[in-house]
Structure 1
Amino acid sequence: METDPAGRVDAAASSNGRQRRAEVLVVGAYYADLVFHGLSRPVLPGTEVFARGFEILPGGAYTPAMAMRRLGHDVVWSTDFGTDLFSEQVLAATRAEGLDDTAFRLHAVPVRSITASLSSRADRAMVSYQDPVVPYPLAMLLREHQAEVLILPQLHYGAAVHAALQVAHEVGTKVFMDCQDVPCTLDTPTVREILAQVDIFAPNAEEALRLTRAPTLDSAIDTLAALVDTLLVKRGGWGAIAVRDGRRCEIDAVAVDVVDTTAAGDCFNAGYLHAHLAGQPLPDCLATAVACGAAATSALGSSAAPDLTELPQWLARVPAARQV
């Protein structure tokens, strides 16, 4: 592997110039999730709340990469690690899961990506920090790996992203994009144009409302469904909604003793893609998404993301889909 003077490994050089074809390409930063769980009440400014438990768990883009790997898929994850203890801990977790390290970049300086998750039974609040890293160009990754599907764990926008997603469609890569708490709306330059290039978009209900500035969730869904091929809206304890080709289906949430919701959204995404790649119809894809999201809430972080042997028992608990 070639290293520049700053100690960065060139991901393209590490593959010895060979073009690699992957089923799934995940692009995004790792995070070490500092999970404070079992909070008895919300944390407000000027107050102190003691958690009943604490763990440091791998998160960020690790979660969809790991979740897809557990479901039997060939996954390449492009991310950056450094010399810090958080990088070391997540790297150890990736090796334990057997994740492909072809697209990892290893830096000779700390690359800290940290999220403090304050988790109650109902929801969680998060505070994050990330050391700045110049990302490997998305367009180059797409040309190098030519994956069947690209997973972007958050909404990205800007001219470079718009150009990269054009490359995705040139090489036949479907684009799956989550939203996350990104400070933009449909009026932000390039956001509408980028969503028009996204094949599957998966915000939660609050993100859909904020992104569209719509007065109701139904109107937000109508607006976003007109932009993307497939829209998934995660509603936490109220289930999920999927819209494709004018068809809308809904599934209620699985009844589960919630421990932590930190990784539920990413595991939901992995479940949907697992069924989608198998060519299943929309209601079955949504059911698999709901099953995987529910499974993730039954333990801390992403530790309970189901594998292929565990998935059927979770699917059996999913309520029937409703066509709307």
Structure 2
Amino acid sequence: MKRPKIFITRKCSEQQLQPLYEIADVDMWPEEEIPCPRELLLEKAGDADGLLTMLSDSIDQELLTTANKLKVVANLAVGFDNIDVQAANENGVVVCNTPDILTDTTADLTFGLILSTARRLMEAANVVKNDQWKSWGPLLLAGHDVHHKTLGIVGMGNIGQAVAKRATGFEMNILYHNRSKNEEAEQRLGATYCTFYELLEKSDFVVCLTPLTTETKELFNKDAFNKMKKSAIFINVSRGAVVNEEDLYDALVSGEIAGAGLDVFLHEPIPSSHPLVSLQNVVALPHIGSASYETRYGMMNLCASNIAAVLNGKDPYTPVRL
């Protein structure tokens, strides 16, 4: 019996993907940080039974039309806005993602961004590294307290709730905005539901954790930043497209808001010449929300398990359902 073929679009741990090697012929793009070229992805997908993809890979109508053997796409991420899920389903292709595994790791990074931006940790570290620390001063690199402040979370899913749980340790007042109220989270975490604009007006830290949809695209724009406190800090660990980056830059330069911590951008990777990177009141990270060894290995293993399940005629563990 002919073995199925699987193509993996980025170099991953072969140990974590061992279940695939046992059932299929596996071909892997050999680069970890360089995306698989589009032309090669189309070629490989045309002969593949399964794909293990990254957010940088567009699994669109063009690809799905030519991938006649394809049965499953496993995305190494919680998000799946790079995949036309409806078109995949219409072509009989199962789409899977990696929810839950990265919840706590991403929440840790989110709170790290809050602390780094508020307390100017990156600036302070560079002062020492660049031999600029000449003396102590009463307001040397003074930042903003995090404890006892108001945290506003836009997107109260699993990661949002994990961030809120961490905020309770800092005795923060927790507000949230979501498509629907989460009464269980309110009782467990002491969080208060409010409208989007109420959250912006009241929060000292505004954390964006909402998925990217047609409704949330450029949700954070000039109007939103104008509603925020001048002392407020904006944190984005969701998707770059939920923010109008020009409006954010203007808000930071004009003092409309105090700072921003960003793990995601509209076009990635960004160059060092990106306008937001030039600002002292911005902490910019290279999309590392879930980047711990434990979590990334777990995500790889789940992708492998999903692909193996589908190719063996079983139900996937974490299918994406519209």
TM normalised by structure 1 equals 0.31
Structure that is richer in strand per residue: 1
Larger radius of gyration: 2
The structure, 1 or 2, with the larger RCO (C-alpha pairs under 8 Å, 6+ apart) is 2
TM normalised by structure 2 equals 0.31
